[in-house]
Chains A and B, each alone.
Chain A
Amino acid sequence: MTLTVPTRKPPTTTEPVFSVSGLWKVFGPKPERVPADPELSALSPAELRSRTGCTAAVRDVSFDVRKGEVFVVMGLSGSGKSTLVRCLTRLIEPTAGTISIDGEDVRAMDRARLRELRRHRAAMVFQHFGLLPHRTVLDNVAYGLEIQGVGKSERRERAAEFVAKVGLEGMEKRRPGQLSGGQRQRVGLARALAVDPEVLLFDEPFSALDPLIRRDMQDEVTRLHREEGRTMVFITHDLSEALKLGDRIALMRDGKVVQLGTPEEIVGSPADDYVREFVRDVPREQVMTVGAAMRPAFAEETATGPAVRPEATVAEAIEAVARAGTPARVMDQGKCLGVVDHEHLLGVVAGVDTTAPAAAPQAAAADGTAAAADGRATGAARAGAGDARCSKSPGEAPGTPRRATPPGPRTTPEAV
Chain B
Amino acid sequence: MATVTVPTSRTRTAPRLLKNRAAGKLLLLGLVTAVLLPLLHGGPWPDDLTVSLDKPLATASDWVIDNRDSHPVFLYFLGHVSNAVIWAVRAVYLALLTAGWAGVTVLGALTAWRFGGARLAAGTAAAFLACGALGMWVPTMQTLALMVVAVLASVAVGALLGLGAGLSDRLDRALRPVLDTMQVLPAFAYLLPVVLVFGIGVPAAVLATVVYAAPPMARLTALGLRGADPEVLEAVESLGATRRQRLLTARIPLARKELLLGLNQTIMMALSMAVIAAVIGAGGLGDRVYQALASVDVGAALAAGIPIVLLAVVLDRVTAAAGDGTTRPRTIGWPYAVAVTVAVALAARLLGALDWPAGWTLGIAEPVNRAVDWMTAHLYSGVPVIGGTADWAGHFTTWILDPVRDGLLWLPWWSVLLLVAALAWLIGTWRTALTAVLAMAAIGVLGVWEPSLDTLSQVLAAVAVTLVLGFATGVAAARSDRVDRALRPVLDVFQTMPQFVYLIPVVALFGVGRAPAVAAAVVYALPAVVRITAQGLRQVDQAALESARSLGATGRQQLWQVQLPLARRALLLAVNQGVVLVLAVVIIGGLVGGGALGYDVAFGLAQGDLATGLVAGAAIVCLGLMLDRVTQPTDRRPRKGA
Using a CB–CB distance below 8 Å, which chain A residues touch chain B? 86, 89, 91, 114-120, 123-124, 126-135, 143-144, 146-148, 175, 188, 191, 195, 201
B22-40 CB contacts (< 8 Å) to partner A: none
A135→B245 CA distance, assembly (Å)? 15
Q: Which of A117, A131, A147 contacts B232 (CB 8 A)?
A: A131
Q: Distance in Å from the Cβ of B337 to the closest Cβ of chain A?
A: 23
A130→B234 CA distance, assembly (Å)? 8
A124→B253 CA distance, assembly (Å)? 22
Tell whether, in the assembled complex, residue B238 and residue A123 are in contact, meaning their CB atoms are under 8 Å apart.
yes
Q: Distance in Å from the Cβ of B569 to the closest Cβ of chain A?
A: 28
B242 is an interface residue with CB less than 8 A from chain A: yes
B239 is an interface residue with CB less than 8 A from chain A: yes
B467-494 CB contacts (< 8 Å) to partner A: none
Q: Which of A120, A124, A127 contacts B238 (CB 8 A)?
A: A124
Chain B interface size range? 10 to 19
Q: Which of B245, B253, B327 contacts A147 (CB 8 A)?
A: B245
Tell whether, in the assembled complex, residue A123 and residue B239 are in contact, meaning their CB atoms are under 8 Å apart.
yes
Using a CB–CB distance below 8 Å, which chain B residues touch chain A? 229, 231-232, 234-242, 245, 249-250, 253-254, 256, 327
Given contact pairs A115-B242, A147-B240, A134 touches B256 in the complex (Cβ within 8 A): yes
Provide the residues of chain A in CB contact with B256, threshold 8 Å.
Answer: 134
A89→B239 CA distance, assembly (Å)? 10
Tell whether, in the assembled complex, residue A126 and residue B249 are in contact, meaning their CB atoms are under 8 Å apart.
no
Tell whether, in the assembled complex, residue B238 and residue A91 are in contact, meaning their CB atoms are under 8 Å apart.
yes
Beyond A132-B236, A132-B250, A147-B245, 6 extra complex contacts between A and B, CB < 8 Å: A127-B231, A130-B231, A131-B235, A132-B232, A143-B239, A188-B235
Tell whether, in the assembled complex, residue A118 and residue B239 are in contact, meaning their CB atoms are under 8 Å apart.
yes
Q: Distance in Å from the Cβ of A121 to the closest Cβ of chain B?
A: 9
Q: Distance in Å from the Cβ of A319 to the closest Cβ of chain B?
A: 43
Provide the residues of chain B in CB contact with A144, threshold 8 Å.
Answer: 239-240
Q: Distance in Å from the Cβ of B170 to the closest Cβ of chain A?
A: 20
Tell whether, in the assembled complex, residue A195 and residue B235 are in contact, meaning their CB atoms are under 8 Å apart.
no
A26→B229 CA distance, assembly (Å)? 24
Tell whether, in the assembled complex, residue B235 and residue A115 are in contact, meaning their CB atoms are under 8 Å apart.
no
Tell whether, in the assembled complex, residue B234 and residue A126 are in contact, meaning their CB atoms are under 8 Å apart.
yes
A210→B472 CA distance, assembly (Å)? 45
Provide the residues of chain A in CB contact with B239, threshold 8 Å.
Answer: 118-119, 123, 143-144, 147, 191, 195
Tell whether, in the assembled complex, residue B249 and residue A116 are in contact, meaning their CB atoms are under 8 Å apart.
no
Given contact pairs A115-B242, A134-B256, A146 touches B235 in the complex (Cβ within 8 A): no
Tell whether, in the assembled complex, residue B237 and residue A91 are in contact, meaning their CB atoms are under 8 Å apart.
yes
Q: Distance in Å from the Cβ of B440 to the closest Cβ of chain A?
A: 40
Q: Can you list 6 pairs linking A and B with CB atoms under 8 Å apart?
A: A117-B240, A118-B239, A120-B240, A135-B253, A143-B239, A175-B327
With both beta carbons as reference points, the residue of chain A lying nearest to B252 in the complex is identified as: A134
Provide the residues of chain A in CB contact with B240, threshold 8 Å.
Answer: 114-120, 144, 147-148
Q: Which of B234, B253, B327 contacts A132 (CB 8 A)?
A: B253
With both beta carbons as reference points, the residue of chain B lying nearest to A117 in the complex is identified as: B240
Tell whether, in the assembled complex, residue A143 and residue B242 are in contact, meaning their CB atoms are under 8 Å apart.
no
Tell whether, in the assembled complex, residue A128 and residue B231 are in contact, meaning their CB atoms are under 8 Å apart.
yes
Provide the residues of chain B in CB contact with A126, threshold 8 Å.
Answer: 231, 234-235, 238
Q: Distance in Å from the Cβ of A406 to the closest Cβ of chain B?
A: 47
With both beta carbons as reference points, the residue of chain B lying nearest to A145 in the complex is identified as: B239
A127→B257 CA distance, assembly (Å)? 24
Tell whether, in the assembled complex, residue B237 and residue A118 are in contact, meaning their CB atoms are under 8 Å apart.
yes
